[in-house]
Chains A and B, each alone.
Chain A
Amino acid sequence: MDSQLHEIRFHGRGGQGAVSAAALLSLAAFDDGFEAQAFPKFGSERRGAPVEAYVRISTTPIRRHNQVYQPDAVIVQDSTLLRSEPVTAGLAEHGLVILNADRCPDELDDGTLRWICLPADQISETFLGRPLPNTVLLGALAAATNWISLAALEQAIGNHLARKGEKIVSTNIKALREGYRLTHELENTS
């Protein structure tokens, strides 16, 4: 069976919406014609504590319900997690790390991984008025990979956040686009 499978791990803190971001990504991938699956790191969630969530995107039906051990990409919503969590565990060489930070941490960037660091808190604060980095980081993922289209993410935001109101949808789409734009810019300059 010729199957293409991408596994993505989200690291965040309880309350930052790692699970929501994973669900949003899976919905977008499904809208894009892929099979998709999203799930939290199982257990009880406590506000502020480290949490993980996972997404599988595949060209064929996803049958397994195992946890993700060797992600192709990780998205880190809070740079303070680098101190306590093994955020890069299981990543293959040149695996992708998208980090919510002003700049990439020199001591971690030893060239074996592909780091994309962008100030998603500030960007989201500009557009949403609050530091909610999810959609910015998803824009970065769309720009850094060909796994998911920007249009599908925009549509998923429209569907998923519709009940929160028009304004939430439009500002999140702006934040998403800014994450996408900035990542292209960073990738082209590096």
Chain B
Amino acid sequence: MEGSHAVAEAVSLCRPQVVAAYPITPQTHIIEHLAEMVADGGLASEFISAESEFAAASIVLGAVAAGSRAFTASASQGLLLMTEVLFNIAGLRLPVVMVCANRAVGAPINIFSDHQDSMALRDAGWIQLYAGSNQEAADTIIQAYRIAETCELPVMVCMDGFFLTHTFEPVDLPGQDTVDAFLPAFHFARTLDPTRPITLGGGSEPDNYMEYRQHQHQALVSAATEIENVNLEFAQTFGRDHGGLIDAYRLEGAEVVMVTLGSVMGAVKDVVDSLRGQGQLVGALRLRCFRPFPASALVTSLCDTGCNAKRIVVLEKALSVGADGIVVTELRAALHNAGMAVIVEGFVGGLGGRDLTIEVIESVFRTASDGVSTRCRFAGLKPESGDQSTMGES
């Protein structure tokens, strides 16, 4: 089935009581399918067509604060329009679950996929999980509600627009009974209830604001354990293990490891198999969880447990313009903090929907290390761009 369809079905299995959204390509098929399910009576939920993404995020904020499970989805400009509210949801520690159908950010306006939108929200205080396939996207929705409601943290499930949302591939959806057993009925302690009046969202001053943030940070860091545990329990219950924080592939003895996130991992795995077939010691690692940043899991996977990477290449679909890739920067810091002197090279590619082809991925693997690599390099630029950092046509 189509990825959007699968995700909508997974959302429905989680029995959200309120769904609010504003349509934006490539998220539309998700909310259209949810609207259909509500219209047909298959999903008992309040479906609210918001007048903007800003309102959609605010509606789910209110719905969760008032004691119901809620869902929204967006992408790109819509996600950015939600920004103020998304920070607020995280600060209020409300267990909201949303999907970001990853799409590039304008200008120039572009409806195709990259990770610039969700990466711009990396400091918002949301857990961010990136799906590698439609099966994983659907399964991650179910996990996300468990994680969110246990940790009182919002979770953003990121799935590549078009590459996943618009692709038909086999997805095994669990039965309602199994999901009900895995995901208890919604519970949130700090609800707006006249019998126990509370004040949510009041003022804070310099004498306590920092402690709020420190607690929030600690909660997000601690959520890593919950993400691992929920993944393990999910694997036991449903028979599918997507990796908790990271999805490691053929790291045994790997000397060169590609680190990436999202749906490109499938092609990366194909390339790893083919290069291994030629005797090259390569492996790959996908960040399934980007927030909290799984620093220790990365260090362990890349530097212990049979993998002793000499060179790490990061291939990511977003960048901090004027600085470098985002994942590469954080990975370098994590390895540096762990005392690992491994070369980490960053490549930015797949922006605005440009396909990260097998050839581009191979060329990133093959690019000779320049030994310094402090410069952000682009993978898959057109030859005529003339940039020395152009990759993919060697």
Contacts and interface: CB of A to CB of B under 8 A. Distances in A.
Interface of A: 1, 22-23, 26-27, 30, 35-40, 42-44, 62-67, 69
A1 B133 CA distance: 21
A4 B241 CA distance: 26
A65 B269 contact: no
Contact of A38 (B25, B167, B269, B357): B167
Interface residues of B, number: 30
Nearest to A39: B167
Interface stretch (B61-69, B156-164, B332-340, B369-377): B156-164
Interface of B: 2, 25-26, 111-113, 133, 160-164, 166-170, 263-267, 269-270, 273, 353, 355-358
A22 B111 CA distance: 22
Contacts of A42: 26, 112-113, 161-163, 166, 353
Contacts of A35: 170
A39 B111 contact: no
Contacts of A44: 25, 111
Given A63-B266, A65-B164, A66-B358, A36 B169 contact: yes
Given A63-B269, A63-B270, A37 B167 contact: yes
A42 B165 CA distance: 10
B19 to A, nearest CB: 23
Contacts, number: 66
A62 B355 contact: no
Residue from the set A23, A27, A30, A65 with the largest chain B CB neighbour count within 10 Å: A65
B273 A37 contact: no
Contacts of A38: 167-169
B112 A64 contact: no
Nearest to B249: A63
A40 B113 CA distance: 14
A50 B315 CA distance: 33
B266 A39 contact: no
A35 B134 CA distance: 14
A26 B166 CA distance: 14
A65 B112 contact: no
A43 B167 contact: no
A39 B270 contact: no
A156 to B, nearest CB: 12
A9 to B, nearest CB: 14
